[in-house]
Amino acid sequence: MRRIVRLALLVIVFCILGSYLAFNRLETVYNAPGPLNRAVAVVVPKGASLPRVVRILDQAGVLADPFWFEWSVRLLGAARKIQAGEYVIEARQSPKRILGLLMAGKTALRQVTIPEGLMVSEVVAILDGAPALEGTTPVPPEGSILPETYSYQFGETRAEVLNRMSKAMQNLLADLWANRKPGLPFNDPIEAVILASIVERETGVAEERSRVAGVFVNRLRRGMRLQSDPTVAYAATNGKRPLGRPLTRKDLDAAHPYNTYRIKGLPPGPISNPGRAALAATLNPLETDELYFVADGTGGHAFAKTLAEHNRNVAKWRKVQRERKK
């Protein structure tokens, strides 16, 4: 009997010692720095089992001991708390930090930038080429998205990102429209977007935007044609792509609803997606008597109040063009 008791006690001692050693081993591995010497990105798929997650981490080289990591997760009851997504595992990150990252769902953020003044065809091309997004890109209405830099996560759909761009435009436009300068010749916000899209394509000089907008507002008030070259370029391709060549006399004479050399007032829709600054300039244009502007050869424009003055500015611009061709 005593012999059995001694044997039982010995077994208990060994069990306690083994448990202590195992726990000590787990704790040591759990808190030890990882083997990585540089950051890597890993993707945890939706619905992945714990063994699959461990394999993904092991293949990425982030675990020194996959077996002990898996058992640490099981003992903590954390397997079901791991969230899907793309994660950046920093160099020398311990299993404890890695598990905390996966449980918190601190997924990596990617970014996509939409420059000001692009047409929807160009915006769609950018989103189609953005990595880690899913699905096709819906084609939004021209002028309906706000050009900015947007963050997104691995596995989001292109439609979801595009929806954020559209809501950003709606929110900005609502704010700018509510605070617009009184007496502008716009019946609704979309008309402001139409003119802003033209202003965006007319000048890349930030200081000129409100002045260019002021000129166009003056022409609208007087019933003058806008005579904007970017609208003619948009008409020449029906907005499907950039023109990629100089305008011709045939382009300027073409009967098209977007050709503002032929139509009076605004074209039927925007010709691009204007940015924040162009929208703000259009809804708060410079008060000016100017009715004309033309390129001045420095990247900016020469403005004029009279046709005679404008014609002199045009002659100067033609001279600059001829000298550049020599």
97-122 mean pLDDT = 93
Taking each helix axis as running N to C, give the angle between helix 66-76 and helix 2-31, from 0 to 180 degrees, rounded to the nearest 10: 110
Tokens of 281: 């300039």
Compute CA distances 203 → 14, 117, 149, 154, 266, whole Å: 82, 10, 21, 36, 18
Lowest average pLDDT, out of 82-86, 197-201, 232-236, goes to 82-86
224: Cβ–Cβ under 8 A, 6 or more apart, which residues? 264, 291
The CA-based angle 232-235-238, given to 5 degrees, is: 155
Dump the DSSP string for 201-248: HH---GGGHHHHHHHHHHHHHHT-----HHHHHHHHHTTSS---S---
Which residue is associated with the tokens 């979801």?
160
pLDDT at 160: 97
- pTM of the predicted structure, to 2 decimals: 0.82
**pLDDT tens digits, residue range 241-288?**
999 899 999 999 999 999 999 999 999 999 999 999 999 999 999 999
- CATH for 26-104 is 3.30.1490.480
Q: How confident is the model at residue 323 (pLDDT cuts 50, 70, 90)?
A: confident
Encoded amino acid at 152, one letter? Y
* Residue 300 identity: G
State the pLDDT at residue 29: 60
Q: Coil, strand or helix: which one is 195? A: helix
Contact indicator for 272, 200 with CB cutoff of 8 Å: yes
Cα 10 from Cα 4, distance rounded (Å): 10
Hey, where are the domains in the chain?
Answer: 26-104, 109-168, 182-325
Residues 6+ apart with CB under 8 A from 68: 25, 26, 29, 30, 95
Minimum mean pLDDT range among 17-21, 197-201, 233-237, 257-261: 17-21
- Using pLDDT thresholds of 50, 70 and 90, give the confidence band for residue 37: confident
What confidence category does residue 18 fall into, taking pLDDT thresholds of 50, 70 and 90? Answer: very low
What does the pLDDT read at residue 225? Answer: 97
pLDDT of residue 28: 58
Render the burial of 13-50: b for 16+ CB within 10 Å, e for the rest: eeeeeeeeeeeeebeebbeeebebeeeeebbbeeeeee
pLDDT at 13 > cutoff 70: no
Instruction: Please tell me the predicted confidence (pLDDT) of residue 326.
Output: 72
- In this predicted structure, the answer to whether residue 179 has a pLDDT above a threshold of 80 is yes
With 70 as the cut, is the pLDDT of residue 117 above it? yes
pLDDT band for position 30 (50/70/90)? low
Token duo for residue 28: 């040591």
Residues in the chain: 326
What is the chain's mean pLDDT, rounded? 89
Averaged pLDDT, 106-128: 95
Q: What confidence score (pLDDT) does residue 19 get? A: 42
pLDDT score at 210:
97
